[in-house]
Amino acid sequence: MSVSHRWTVTALKAMETDDWYRYEIIDGQLIISEPQHWCHQLAMSRICYAINGWIDHQSWRGLTVHMPGVIFDEENCVVPDAIWISSNRMRHGTDEDGHFTRGPELVVEVLSPGSDKVRRDRETKLALYSREGVDEYWIVDWQQRTLEVYRRTGEVLALALTLGGHDLLETPLLPGFSVPLMRICPPAF
């Protein structure tokens, strides 16, 4: 009989890690990711820039963070590409080490090439973010220049729309926020 090892945050903290890689645990499974393509990084940066531009015109309601540590429990810790979290959730959902411990209102993942990575973002992380109370989840496909918006419907996040081309990215989470998708996805070369 085969018994798979279940990873915990405690075990990960004790492990010797390389800062060049991203370490995440989902349902006790360790995931190690190599540095991303520059187009991945550019899409993430542009989303943060767009949301921060919206924040600059608001009273302090929350903040955008790229690649934050989110520790839901001992067997579930992730490093999403970007989040927007309200000041209320941040105030009541941050540990003493500065990790978020509650689902942010908005989580953004930018797809990396490879069927296992795409499946992880579209299925495994979608399920995790659904059960952890995330209100909206964006999946950016920089290669196809599309963005999927999942919104909370009862207990789950469900696909609400898929944007492409000249579509505008808007969300009820950030009233007045609007950015053309073409500003998010890097141009084709």
For residue range 102-148, what is the model confidence (pLDDT) as tens digits? 999 999 999 988 899 999 999 999 999 999 999 999 999 999 999 99
Residue 62 lies in a domain: yes
pTM: 0.92
Q: How is residue 143 written in tokens? A: 């290669």
Is residue 5, in this structure, part of any structural domain at all? Answer: no
Segment 43-61, tens digit of pLDDT: 999 999 999 989 877 766 8
First to last CA, the chain: 50
Q: What is the pLDDT of residues 165-178, one digit of tens each?
A: 899 999 999 999 99
Helices (H) and strands (E) in the chain, counts: 6, 12
- 30: in domain: no
Q: Structurally, how many domains does the chain consist of?
A: 1
Query: What rounded mean pLDDT belongs to the chain?
Result: 92
d(CA 5, CA 12): 12
Residue 19 domain-assigned (yes or no):
no
pLDDT at 187 over 80: no
What does the block give as tokens for 172?
């009820």
> What is the average per-residue pLDDT within 22-38?
93
CATH code where residue 48 lies: 3.90.1570.10
In a domain, 165, yes or no: yes
Is residue 27 included in any domain, yes or no?
no
Range of the domain at 164: 37-184
Q: If you compute the radius of gyration of the chain from its CA atoms, what whole number of angstroms results?
A: 16
